[in-house]
Structure 1
Amino acid sequence: MKFSYKFSNLLGTVYRKGDLLFSPDGSSVISPVGNRITIFDLKNNKSMTLPVESRFNYVTIDISPNGSMLVAINTDGEAHIISLISKVILHKYRFKGCPKRVKFSPDGKYFAVCKGGGVFIFNAPGLQTGNYNPFIMERAFHGATAETTCISWSFDSKLLAVGSKDTTIKIYSLQKSANLRWITLGGHSDVIVACFFENKDYDMYTISKNGRLCVWECTLEPDDWVEWQPPAKKEKSKDSESDSEDDIDIEKIIERTEKQKARAECKLLESDDLLKNDEEEDTIEEENIKKAEIKMLGYKKQATFYLGNEVQKHYKEAKLTAAAYHQDTRILVIGFNIGSFYLYEMPHANLIHSLSISRQRISSIALNSTGDWIAIGCSHAGQLLVWEWQSETYAMKQQGHRTNMNCLAYSPDGQYIVTGGDDGKVKLWNTLSGFCTLTFHEHASSISGVLFSHNRKFVASASLDGTVRAYDLARYRNFRTLTSPRPVQFSCLAIDGSDEFLAAGGQDFFDVYLWSMKLGTLLEILSGHEGPVASLAFNPNPASTELVSASWDKTVKIWNAVENGSAHETIRLIADALCVTYKPNGEEIAVATLDGQITFFECKTARQTGFIEGRNDLGAGRSKTDLITAKKNLQGKAFTTLCYSADGTCILAGGRSKNVCIYNVRESILLKKYEITQNRSLDGVDDVINRKYMSEFGNRALIEHREGGNISLHLPGVRSGDMASRRVKPEVRVLCLQFSPTGQAWAAVTTEGLLIYSLDIGLMFDPFQLELGVTPDTVKETLDERDYAKALMMALKLNEKLLTQQVIETIPYKEIELTTTSMPDIYVEKLLKFIASELESTRHIHFYLLWIEIILTKHGSRINTAPQMPVLLMLHKNMQKKYDDLSRICDFNQYTMNYILRIGELKSAKSISKHSAITIDDESLSDASIERMDTD
């Protein structure tokens, strides 16, 4: 099994905090998601998270006008220049403090950064500037008396408007100009939220937090701009003569005084000439100024609109929080903290449209290049919307879990993932597109377990509200609600291989409840545990109804309730059991215990077959509020989630740590360890607390701040709940893990969201039974000799994707059967795996389906085994995807063709009727001509 898993995508979180952006073509939305950046492709309906990770959360981003470069700044003041072509960080720069805004100039040569009360202009590296040295400062302005909040460039990149918390807007010139000295715009009584220049003009709009909009008209036209040139400095003549005062002699003194008098007279004559020259130069400068007719830059307030008055009639505490302006269409969009946004047509502020999307604060607004789509982000709700205001429809509507995710489950074909969170919602995610396709919100409390049925027809979820619900994926409804005789908080969930029986374990009452999915009735209550039931698992074999349960009472019980009722076998452990899972063949179970060990047992004999001591592999991590060291804290760490790989040779383990470990089951050794995050905005990532957080009284994070009677931590040990009244820093942890049934990826539910790690086989040379003399040239020579079977086996030995693809597509379809029958089974299995992965992106669908049909027909009996199930599942997943895509296209084309055929029939019928009318007229004319001839 290969372990070159790389981070591929981030699901479950669509927007956290910061600026939203549209790509220059207007088809993609760029959203900061914690310490990562996600790009949502609206045309292709896909999302992609950049393989770039910051040490802290991003707060502001901006994209260059050509779309090739992205500047992102995090909360620690570290700025990253990211290439959107190679998807890597090119340069880094650290500011002292946290900048609030970054903005590229329209010509792409500069970008401005707002930090504190100043604005810093940097040269943008690239072809346009011809300079590739990063972060070369061009200008710096320190005009604001308070913190700057917004920034805007003029269309020609000459002027810069900066708003601040001192309710003023400063106008700066990038280059020194004769037209501009210093301009400050007032007229607002609250914090400036946004300022915008007009297109092809210097007119401006400024908006403050209380909803006041000011329209400013510039007194200077762009053609009147004059660059300032410094006057030439005059070189002063220096006397090279130096007087020595070594000898004091009267005669020498007299001679010296005479010389000084003569020199003074010469200087008087020269000064008169210099004065005449200065007067001539002044007259020349005055004439040049009159000729140039320089106009000074100034602004006049044309109008003031109170956009917040209408909103504040219904909501007195409504504040304007975000705004965006499209220069070409003159559309202004403003958003409020009550979740509503408004569209105005400028410059007269005519209301076009208004909509309330939620009750949460709108954090960011962006408009695409055409002005048709409006992107709106709500940080508190984790919501990202793209609204097409002309048709009043959603181009995209995505929302992650408002609070932490708790659990996940893959669909049998690996195409979908279902997740449950503390917000009581169950969401269905498409792993190929990265979008949420369904949301069920029937639960009233936290979701503790979710699962996918083996026939892909329904999903089930267990919650702390005392219900287990099943949702139909065909009709998108809750068709089954299962409850217990007395209210129980369900902590885990499991379903058998035949989708007949559903089991859930109790957290406050220590029983296991068994229901029938078809009848919806409670079949059995399995009692015997003396502590909360932490985990349940059914035997994956469809012919077996064996159930295993793990509890905090240091026992694992094996049940067969369908056949034997409450009879069970108990396995004693040395610590509390936290998680239990079955091996894919159903012959072995793995149990994670509180002492950091993973123990393996044989199901039939209940005999221990091995164990893994994994506590030291979890890695230490010290929270800012911990009073003990990271090394001491490690003694309390343990694995809380386990999952076997698709072939059962390895096991994936994670817990209250930033590390995910893969172990070999037979050898009981660590194969690879993944660090899921480097985000220092989360707690428990660092092993050592920085000394700047320590004081003479101890850790500053433990000191209560009683400003205005508010206390940061009202209750000791509280880490969730009312986040508004307690300043709680989220802690890094892995809550659930699962391998994809195809074996090509695994998913982890973490504090940051749903992380997907997949195999990247394109950049890795991994030969298979390579022999001497097998090279790409010899493969092509063998292919030219039409020895197709040998060429294909040689290509599979090299295991290079492009070469294998070339060989397969060169073989004629009539030779497929002969080629596959003359190959050994081991090469046929490798060939099927390659075709299954290639089917996802290829255009030659029918050609590859012919290969699949012949391979499954000739070798199906030998391929249909447990080790080959991941390949068959991946094949089924990709074929299902192609079927879904093509069926929609074919249905659309079918209706289009029927319409065209119907139009053709109508046109042909109309032409026939017209032709018949013409022939009748011709016959009547011929009859009339014959009668005339007879009369003549």
Structure 2
Amino acid sequence: MKFAYRFSNLLGTVYRCGNLNFTRDGNSVISPVGNRVTVFDLKNNKSDTLPLATRYNIKCVGLSPDGRLAIIVDEGGDALLASLVCRAVLHRFHFKGAVHSVSFSPDGRKFVVTKGNLAQMYHAPGRKREFNAFVLDKTYFGPYDETTCIDWTDDSRCFAVGSKDMSTWVFGAERWDNLIYYALGGHKDAIVGCFFESSSLDLYTLSQDGALCVWQCDTPPEGLRLKAPAGWKADLLQREDGDEDEDEDEDGAERETAVHGKAVPAAEGQRGKAKYSRVAKYFFNKEGDFNHLTAAAYHKKVHLLVTGFASGIFHLHELPEFNLIHSLSVSDQRVSSIAINGSGDWIAFGCSGLGQLLVWEWQSESFVLRQQGRFNSAVSLAYSPDGQYIATGGDDSKVKVWNTLSGFCFVTFTEHSSGVTGVTFTTTGYVIVTSSMDGTVRAFDLHRYRNFRTFTSPRPTQFSCVAVDSSGDIVSAGAQDSFEIFIWSMQTGRLLDVLSGHEGPISGVCFNPMKSVLASASWDRTVRLWDMADSWRTTETLALTSVALAVTFRPDGAELAVATLNSQITFWDPENAVQTGSIEGRHDLKTGRKELDKITAKHSAKGKAFTTLCYSADGESILAGGMSKFVCIYHVKEQILRKKFEISCNLSLDAMEEFLNRRKMTEFGNLALIDQDAMEEGGVTIPLPGVKKGRCWAATTTEGLLVYSLDARMLFDPFELDTSVTPAQIRAALCQRDFTRAILMAFRLNERKLLQEALESVPWDEIEVISSSLPDLYVEKVLEFLASSFEESRHLEFYLIWTQKLLMVHGQKLKSRVGTLLPAVQFLQKSIQRHWDDVSKLCDWNRYNMQYALAVSKQRGLKRPSEPPGSEEEADASEDDDNSLHLLRRGPGDGDGPLA
């Protein structure tokens, strides 16, 4: 269980491609992020990535009407039937072709997928267990080119399909006698969207050139007649219904019925086919030929049409009058997807060019969510000391700070003008120090969100790494071109010294956590140790057999780890300058073959080395990552591989397959080498620096910031279990008020509900006695349970009493086990700090309101008694009272959203 890390969340990417969906309650947005799906909870300000992944980037997502199931289809045609309740994959299916869109019928009984120039209707999976969840019902032909969009009528009787051949086809979900299929023209460009009107067969169609056609049908939905069966089906129905009498209306006219699928002839006036006629055609205002219509959504209840364009502008129109409500620019890139929630208040926009996801409330004209992923890959990250924040730096010259609890980016620093190469926190956790290729090292304040220090060198240079000592007073950065190390003072911002001696670019710097010693790694195959307390002189020089790529100290400062270009990790004693061990990682880092590579992955030297290292909190293991899709955890003392994590299985990225795809081989050679322009969008590399802090670790990848954590809520993990430990025995001990025995048995069974029941049954005045009777082995488990309970439970004071008594009683004994208890204590501190921040903000707000109310009342009490009533001063005071009451009603959280 120590290394049972599971995928926890994906940060840094909020939208990649595909369509957006709102959940049934309208409070969450479902967004495809590469080959994963993220759910953004707008009410609770949280994001959660589902623990499932497809083989390629997700192309479309279809949500069932009840919001329980989702069909996720990737670019290769592979589909996942996922449960949004239990967050698991229920069924896998392959559609044998690229799917453009998928949509459930409003009644939830059918769903339609469009692939190529046809549409296929399947029986939707039910709640019962089925042998095959996807059963093909019908295949519809008609369009000559690729299909683009789907929309259903409210009664699920018909659906419309748009195509790139400028036509829209209306198909019947059943074999209607007067409407089997109908083709609509009238456009001069590819169809982007088609939408039925509410409780009607009337249709709106939109094309890429910005044209809107309004179609009216002369037949209502209830006027559709089932087609009479023929052949053996008709004979079978006649046998079943031979004894039934046909009913007639009072005037003697026949009326159509459908009993057990039997169609009765209708009156003569109703035998005509359904016909469509175009009643109007509108055009959107175009700013140029490049401003094509790229996405559209329509809300049938409020008659709201939202259209997005290639220039990043979107329009809101009221149909069918086509009245313009609002027009706004949300980005400088094309709008790729639009979705409207059930109430029609919130509109979600996805822009794949910059990875933007926006949720806009059109009535108040304000943003509910505004997030943007990284335009380029993130190359460095750092955890804050309490584990609440993650800071990332990337090639897009931006520094982003993420909240690990909510998953949102809450601040972005854009002061750097070139790629950010290094990110680190000070020990206080409120200052971020970054290095960049623009020749500056900057310090950012997380209190005021500003760049308060900028460190520069006497002559222009490019910084490749950065480090801060444990006191936070000394900042060090290594240069890539001048082979020097620069030392600054955080307090004054002045350059203290320039350390020379290396004969190659500096690849990494790291301070000893316990001493004033700086370690620097260089391409000159050496690691130098500098004494910060003794005139910054070199104390030791460690000779390596290959180029040094990364260096880090153990948390206690007694060991030094160095990653080299020959795929080795060497361990050194910094006091005696003696090598204590080495790990060979050549066979653990398997790299894939890029499409532009001319040699096989086996003989390629790219990605065969670790580029980043990080010790675990107890110092017994080390986490290593490089230019590969694998991250490895090694045992330092035994020098063996403990576990290897595959970061991604997304085949849409380059260098993910070990062998070259034979389908891309032609008689002239590799197709990618012939046409290299085709690889401009997909050619990427995967840098994987990772940082581990106790219960979780993170890795910066091409897909975003991946977070893995020890979340074992769904995992049964008993501890010293025997046959006498049962839930009945635990509840019997609680009834006998034998709380210590009940708690010990609950932790041995290790079921969360029983643990919560046992702990919460203890009276608050007996917690100290029960805490003192717990064995030392169970104290760590109780602390971990308390830390996880702070995330969900409302009994804050009760669990705080438990925490205080445990630490007070067992504090002296726990000091000898600091290494093993550090992850649990950090997790506990992180949970308590979050509640402290929330409560302190609320208390500050209430104190401000009370001071304001007291000041206003005091001002009114000091009013001169000679002033007549209704004077100007009294009117001002009454106005102040109204303002104070307005502030008190508003509250601290009103109008706040997850903006970044």
| TM-score scaled by length of structure 2 | 0.88
Shift of the alpha carbon at 1:457?
1.7
Structure 1: which 5+ residue stretches go unaligned?
237-285, 706-710, 714-725, 906-936
8 Å Cα contact 1:540-1:584 kept in structure 2: yes
Q: Secondary structure at the match of 1:761?
A: coil
1:632 aligned partner, one-letter code: H
Q: Which residue of 1 aligns with 2:36?
A: 36
Q: Label 1:235 to 1:14 Cα distance change in 2 as closer, same or farther (>3 A).
A: closer
Q: What's 2:277 paired with? A: 300
Q: Are 1:79 and 2:76 an aligned pair? A: no
Return the alpha-carbon distance in structure 2 between the equivalents of residues 55 and 224 of structure 1. Answer: 45
Counterpart for residue 814 of structure 1: 765
Deviation by residue 1:446-478 (Cα, 9 ceiling, x = unmatched): 110111121122111111001111111111111
The residue identity in structure 2 corresponding to 1:642 is L
Distance 1:894 1:760, change over 3 A: same
User: Does the aligned pair in 2 maintain the 1:524–1:561 contact within 8 Å?
Assistant: no
**What residue number does 2:177 align with?**
178
Q: Is the alpha carbon distance of 1:839 and 1:230 closer, same or farther for their aligned partners in structure 2, counting shifts above 3 Å?
A: closer
User: How far is the alpha carbon of 1:163 from its aligned partner?
Assistant: 1.3
SS in 1 for 2:787: helix
Report the CA distance between 1:875 and its aligned residue: 1.8
Q: Which of 419-428 and 154-163 deviates more?
A: 154-163
Indicate yes or no: 2:162 matched with 1:163.
Answer: yes
State the shift of 1:857 in Å: 2.7
- Pair 902,604 (structure 1): closer, same or farther in 2 beyond 3 Å: closer
User: Are the equivalent residues in 2 in contact too, given 1:462–1:493 (CA < 8 A)?
Assistant: yes
Q: Does 1:489 align with 2:496?
A: no
Aligned equivalent of 1:601, options 569, 572, 575: 572
Is the contact made by 2:157 and 2:221 (CA closer than 8 Å) also made in structure 1?
no
Q: Is the contact made by 1:421 and 1:447 (CA closer than 8 Å) also made in structure 2?
A: yes
Query: What amino acid does structure 1 have at the position aligned with 2:174?
Result: Q
Q: 1:235–1:298: structure 2 CA closer, same or farther, 3 Å change rule?
A: closer
Instruction: Describe the SS at the equivalent of 2:759.
Output: helix
Shift of 1:843: 1.5
1:694 shift after superposition: 2.2
**What amino acid sits opposite 2:104 in the alignment?**
F
Aligned counterpart, 1:10: 10
Partners of 2:622 and 2:21 in 1: CA distance: 40
Task: Report the more deviating stretch, 188-197 or 619-628.
Answer: 619-628
Distance in 2 (CA, whole Å) between partners of 1:795 and 1:178 is 66
Note if 1:658 corresponds to 2:629: yes
Higher Cα Rg, which structure: 1
Question: What SS does structure 2 have at the residue aligned with 1:618?
Answer: coil
Q: Partner residue of 1:113?
A: 113
- In structure 2, what is the Cα distance between the partners aligned to 1:482 and 1:467? 6
Deviates further, 831-840 or 298-307: 831-840
**How far apart, CA to CA, are the structure 2 residues paired with 1:339 and 1:734?**
31
Moved more, 785-794 or 575-584: 785-794
Match of 1:746 among 697, 702, 720: 697
Mapped partners of 1:863, 1:289: distance in 2: 86
Query: How far has the Cα of 1:779 moved from its partner?
Result: 4.0
Match of 2:830 among 877, 882, 889: 877
Corresponding residue for residue 550 of structure 2? 579
- Gap change, CA 1:143 and 1:370, over 3 Å in 2: same
CA distance in 1, matches of 2:234, 2:88: 52
> Aligned equivalents of 1:392 and 1:116: distance in 2?
39
Match of 1:919 in 2: none
After TM superposition, give the deviation of residue 528 of structure 1 in Å: 0.8
Structure 2: how far apart are the matches of 1:563 and 1:801?
A: 54
Deviation at 1:181, TM superposition (A): 5.0
Shift of 1:764: 3.9
Distance 1:904 1:782, change over 3 A: farther
Paired residues of 1:8 and 1:49 also in contact (CA < 8 A):
yes
Partner of 1:26: 26
Counterparts of 2:342 and 2:376 in 1: how far apart (Å)?
A: 33
Partner of 2:62: 62
1:366 has 2:339 as partner = yes
User: Structure 1 pair 833/621, CA: closer, same or farther in 2 (3 Å)?
Assistant: same
Instruction: Say whether the 8 Å CA contact 2:81–2:92 is kept in structure 1.
Output: yes
Matches of 1:178 and 1:826 in 2, distance apart? Answer: 76
Q: Tell me the CA shift for residue 900 of structure 1.
A: 11
Q: Is the 8 A contact 2:606 2:627 kept in 1?
A: no
Alignment of 1:315-714 (within 5 A): 315-541=288-514, 544-633=515-604, 637-704=608-675, 711-712=677-678
Distance 1:93 1:338, change over 3 A: same
Distance 1:172-1:853 versus aligned 2 partners, 3 A rule: same
Find the residue that maps to 1:802 and give its secondary structure.
Answer: helix
- SS of the aligned residue for 1:617 comes to coil
Report sequence identity in percent: 50
- Whole-Å Cα distance in 1 between the matches of residues 806 and 121 of structure 2? 63
- The 5 A counterparts of 1:783-932 are 783-864=734-815, 866-867=818-819, 868-890=821-843
Give 1:223 deviation, angstroms.
2.8
Aligned residue type for 1:463:
S
Instruction: Give a deviation string over 1:280-299, Cα, whole Å, max 9, x none.
Output: xxxxxx99554562342111
Residues 552-599 of structure 1: per-residue CA shift (max 9 Å, x gap): 110001111342323331100000000011101011110000000100
2:48 partner letter: M
**Alpha-carbon distance change, 96 to 231 in structure 1, aligned in 2, over 3 angstroms:** closer
Q: Which amino acid aligns with 2:697?
A: W
Q: Secondary structure at the match of 1:633?
A: coil
Partner of 2:148: 149
CA–CA distance in 2 between the matches of 1:347 and 1:215? 8
The correspondence for 2:683, drawn from 712, 729, 740, is: 729
CA change 1:233–1:110 in 2 (3 A) is: closer
Q: CA deviation at 1:116?
A: 1.3
Equivalent residue for 1:927?
none
Distance 2:154 2:742 in 1: 60
Distance 1:765 1:180, change over 3 A: closer
Match of 2:241 in 1: none
**In 2, Cα distance between equivalents of 1:573 and 1:70:** 53
Mapped to 2, the partners of 1:748 and 1:852 lie a distance apart of 32
**Equivalents in 1 of 2:303, 2:370: separation in Å?**
25
Distance 1:18 1:635 in 2: 32
Shift of 1:888: 4.2
Distance change in 2, residues 1:212/1:903 (3 Å): same
Q: Provide the rounded CA distance (Å) in 1 between the counterparts of 2:560 and 2:21.
A: 48
Deviation at 1:776, TM superposition (A): 4.3
**Is the CA contact 1:470–1:481 (under 8 Å) kept in the aligned structure 2?**
yes
Higher helix share: 1
Contact 2:8 2:711 (8 Å CA) reproduced: no
- Secondary structure of the corresponding residue to residue 874 of structure 1: helix
Amino acid at match of 1:69: L
> Taking structure 1 as reference, are residues 234 and 83 closer, same or farther at Cα in structure 2, changes over 3 Å only?
closer
Measure how far apart 1:304 and its partner are. Answer: 1.1
Shift of 1:180: 1.9
Q: Counterpart in 2 of 1:279?
A: none
Describe the superposition over 1:716-773 as per-residue Cα deviations: whole angstroms up to 9, x where unpaired. xxxxxxxxxx354223x34310012xx1111111111111111123344445555785
- What's the CA shift for 1:303? 1.2
* Aligned-partner Cα distance in 2 for 1:618–1:183: 57
Separation in 1, partners of 2:856, 2:466: 57
Distance 1:739 1:386 in 2: 33
For residue 549 of structure 1, report the CA deviation from its aligned partner.
Answer: 0.6
Q: By how many angstroms is 1:635 displaced?
A: 8.1
Relative to 1, partners in 2 of residues 1:72 and 1:768: Cα closer, same or farther, differing over 3 Å?
closer
**Deviation by residue 1:814-855 (Cα, 9 ceiling, x = unmatched):** 112222233444433433333233222221111111122222
